[in-house]
């Protein structure tokens, strides 16, 4: 009788658990590209993309408007916590939006939920 030689078994490849995007450390320019990609793939609807997809630092008149008020020049390539910036933006809208915009505010909250999900660990 021939003895059966056991097969060598290799361990299964390990998947990595990581976030799809690190929105807590990304530049406004990279953030705009990410949100545009989320819009193109259908994760964000057009109305939601309009609420969260356009960082103010990318506006050509930033230094003359917001920058003049804050004393900071636009630096769209410096990484920062863009998720926190959008959370603050949505919170500001929630508190101070005119009554006619409050009816559509759920879109901004849903868009923020989509952004938060991008930072959650997932298996790859």
pLDDT tens across 46-98, in order? Answer: 999 998 999 999 999 999 999 999 999 999 999 999 999 999 988 988 888 88
Report the number of distinct structural domains present in the chain. 1
Segments forming the whole domain that contains residue 72: 21-123
Task: Answer whether residue 15 is part of any domain.
Answer: no
Task: Answer whether residue 11 is part of any domain.
Answer: no
What's the pTM? Answer: 0.79
pLDDT at residue 51, rounded to an integer: 86
Q: Helices in the chain by DSSP H: which ranges?
A: 28-40, 46-52, 66-70, 82-96, 99-102, 106-118
Report the Cα 44 to chain-centroid distance in Å. Answer: 11
Task: Answer whether residue 40 is part of any domain.
Answer: yes
Task: Answer whether residue 27 is part of any domain.
Answer: yes
Task: Answer whether residue 100 is part of any domain.
Answer: yes
pLDDT at residue 16, rounded to an integer: 73
Task: Answer whether residue 93 is part of any domain.
Answer: yes
**Other C-beta atoms within 10 Å of 72: how many?**
12
- Indicate if the alpha-carbon torsion angle 9, 10, 11, 14 is positive or negative: negative
Task: Answer whether residue 12 is part of any domain.
Answer: no
């Amino acid at each position: 009788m021939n003895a059966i030689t056991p097969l060598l078994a290799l361990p299964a490849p390990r998947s990595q658990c990581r976030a799809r995007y690190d929105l807590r450390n990304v530049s406004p320019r990279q953030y705009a590209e990410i949100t545009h990609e989320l819009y193109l793939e259908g994760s964000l609807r057009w109305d939601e993309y309009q609420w969260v997809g356009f960082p103010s630092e990318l506006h050509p008149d930033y230094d003359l408007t917001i920058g003049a008020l804050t004393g900071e020049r636009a630096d769209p390539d410096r990484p920062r916590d863009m998720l926190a910036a959008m959370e603050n933006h949505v919170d500001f809208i929630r508190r101070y939006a005119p009554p006619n915009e409050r009816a559509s505010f759920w879109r901004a909250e849903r868009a923020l939920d989509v952004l938060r999900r991008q930072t959650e660990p997932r298996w790859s």
